[in-house]
Structure 1
Amino acid sequence: MAGNSKRQGAMRKPGSKKGPVVGSGGQRRKGLEGKGPTPKAEERPGHHAYRKSNAAAKREQRSKDKPTSELVAGRNPVVECLRAQIPATALYVAIGIDTDDRVADAVRMAADRGISVLEVSRPELDRLTGMAMHQGLGLQVPPFEYAHPDDLLEAARSTDEPPLIVALDGVTDPRNLGAVIRSAAAFGANGVLLPQRRSAGITAVAWRTSAGTAAKIPVAIATNLTRELRALASQGLMIIGLDADGSMELDDLHLATSPLVVVVGSEGRGLSRLVKEACDATISIPMSAGVESLNASVAAGVVLAEVARRRRAAGRV
């Protein structure tokens, strides 16, 4: 009988027989036993709730891993930050540093403002600055405290002037951000609005470029810039965007005396499509032939200066 013959080549290989084998009794019964209560959705790998929970945990961990402060490195940057009255918590000075006027000025200004002056070894300062070219000086700057978007409109309504808010769309250079904040403060804006993604934040570089004005004007972050612009429009503000192919030129900006939001796009791509669709009008700046565009911060300064001029003129009428 096939499979039972003792002839060579007629034997089945061990373990190849179909069906139950020796010692398999009870396996079918075990297969019918339950596996306990169904785990929660958040505990079941592959479930969308499990993936969502894991993603939230990773975001929380990343936020915990972020440094709570920033260290400005280098003699000139440190002195500039101190002169600009940028908030700081400590000045690190390397032991045995070659003292010059910048070091003396930094120590004096820090002491006058009650900022701790700490002597550390050069290897320790290397570690603190991430091996940056610190030249023996490092300034610890605390994280910036952003306002809520609603605070901008509340600040505007506390004045006698029509609201003026500056919004940035895709400006990723902190130097441009700092320069825009400085222009916004100089020409009477009530605040600056930044998108949560694809935007520069208030770092030490932005602080320094703003010449300390970031402490004098509220800067808020919008989770969704387009939605926030539409919310401001529903509150009666006109939304105008800077665009090389604008629907009107700056000379025709009769909306300047109205409650206004000026939206500045990035120098490279300008305004994003959704933000442009949220604008009531787009403004172009007349320029000489052969010049394609202006730096984002320069363009913002030009428009804000024109808005301030028209408002002063309207106040004299």
Structure 2
Amino acid sequence: MVERKKPGSGGNNKRRLAGKGPTPKAVDRPYHPAAKRKAAAASDPKKGKASSRREKEPRAAREFEVQDDVIVGRNPVVEALRAGVAVKRVMIARGIDIDERVREIVELARQSRIEVLEVNRKELDPYPAHQGVALKVAPYKFRPLNEVLQKISGKPLIVALDGVTDPRNLGAIIRSACAFGAHVVVIPDRRAAGMTAVAWKASAGAAARTPVVQIKNMTATIHDLQGEGFFVVGLDAGGDVPLSQMAVADEPLMIVIGGEGKGLSRLVRESCDLVVSIPISSSMESLNASVAASIALYSVSERRAQAR
């Protein structure tokens, strides 16, 4: 005869699952860095104090994150300071080897009254190839175009960028503008490369000598300058005439460089007095914006020299 089961307890007699309890603090976990620091401090009070100082990061050092405008590396920082790049502060990692470049960085910063901060090396580690040295670029101080033009003697030469988005191209164009006698570089304030650390570095110091002006509307600026007697020439792969046939090089001139890939925008192209192109081999679709700008500026400078 099968024995009937007795009524259950409704789970009242079940053993509850035992949890592990609250998570221990970091200093109580043997393999956690905080626990190791605590153990080191217990064995060596002096070492513990030094470790505590390292944990308290300098207030200024915590401001520098990867998205900040920073130039890194000993040579680039020296070059930036020599070129008069607008610098907010210089950062030097503790314990680095002090060579002639580091000494020059400190001296140049002192002469320009730029703050020099000694920071933990880990504060610079987010920036590749920092070599223990970095600087924070200050915001570029744009001046009004009219103010720049008033200080130009002779026939002005303006370089305008229509949709150039690569800061390396912007910096290279500023460098060419400076080399070939352009008086100012004009950039839009939207959908275009700005005066970042990358642009400063690519300009090789030219951005400290050739002013950069930021405008709100390129077509409106073109029309304003045309009203003041400027000839506005667009540079585009599908130009009306070759660059060599441009007959207005010795006039007050604005050359407009189109963006990478897209070239001149429709409204800007329609606003130009003339659109010229640089003949190239059929195996190439187009030239890099900064290369095209260099060729055009060299051509203008040669013609102006011949006209003197």
TM superposition score normalised by structure 1: 0.70
Match of 2:140, SS state, is coil
Of 146, 158, 170, 2:142 maps to: 146
Equivalent of 2:127 in 115, 132, 137: 132
Q: How many Å separate the matches in 2 of 1:290 and 1:110?
A: 49
Change (3 A) 1:281 1:73: same
Q: Between 145-154 and 225-234, report the one with greater CA deviation.
A: 145-154
**1:252 aligns to what?**
245
SS in 1 for 2:249: helix
Three-state SS of the structure 1 residue aligned to 2:164 is coil
Which residue in the other structure is 1:24 paired with? none
Superposition map of 1:19-58 within 5 A: none
**For the Cα contact (< 8 Å) 1:181–1:210, is it kept in 2?**
yes
TM-score, normalised to structure 2, is 0.72
Give the Å deviation of 1:167. Answer: 0.5
Deviation at 1:248, TM superposition (A): 0.7
Asked whether the 8 Å contact 2:91–2:116 carries over to 1, the reply is: yes
CA distance in 1, matches of 2:102, 2:251: 49
Aligned mate of 1:170, from 147, 159, 163: 163
Q: Is this contact kept in 1: 2:86–2:139, CA < 8 A?
A: no
Give the match for residue 279 of structure 1: 272
Tell me whether 1:220 sits opposite 2:213 in the alignment.
yes
When structure 1 is superposed on structure 2, of 99-108 and 172-181 the one drifting more is 99-108
Letter of the 2:248 partner, please give it.
L
Secondary structure in structure 1 of the residue aligned to 2:198: helix
Is the Cα contact below 8 Å between 1:172 and 1:200 reproduced in 2?
yes
How far the C-alpha of 1:112 sits from its partner, in A, is 4.9
Question: How far apart in 1 are the matches of 2:96 and 2:262?
Answer: 45
Query: How far apart, in 2, do the equivalents of 1:91 and 1:162 lie?
Result: 39
Q: Which residue in 2 is equivalent to 1:292? A: 285
SS state of the match for residue 279, structure 2? coil
| 1:44 match | none
Larger deviation, residues 137-146 vs 97-106 = 97-106
2:137 counterpart letter in structure 1: V
Whichever residue aligns with residue 253 of structure 1, its letter is M
- CA–CA distance in 2 between the matches of 1:282 and 1:151? 28
State how far apart, in whole Å, the 1-side matches of 2:148 and 2:157 are.
9
Aligned to 1:38: none
SS at match of 1:139: strand
Say whether 1:118 aligns with 2:117. yes
Superposition map of 1:298-309 within 5 A? 298-309=291-302
Contact 1:84 1:208 in 2 (8 A): no
CA drift at 1:76: 4.1
Displacement after TM superposition at 1:87 (Å): 2.7
Residue 266 of structure 1, aligned match among 259, 264, 267:
259
- In the alignment, the residues of structure 1 paired with residue 151 and residue 161 of structure 2 have an alpha-carbon distance, to the nearest angstrom, of 19
**C-alpha displacement at 1:263, in angstroms?**
0.0
CA contact (8 A) 1:155 1:190 kept: no
Aligned-partner SS, 2:168: helix
The code of the aligned residue for 2:272 comes to: C
Q: Which residue of 2 aligns with 1:81?
A: 80
Deviations 1:83-138 (A, max 9, x none): 43323232211112244554444334434544333211234445xxxx22233212
Matching residue within 220, 226, 247 for 1:233: 226
Q: 1:108 to 1:245 in 2, by over 3 A?
A: same
Matches of 1:294 and 1:100, distance apart in 2: 41
- Partner Cα distance (2:151, 2:266) in 1: 29
Specify the SS of the correspondent of 1:256: coil
CA contact (8 A) 2:187 2:213 kept: yes
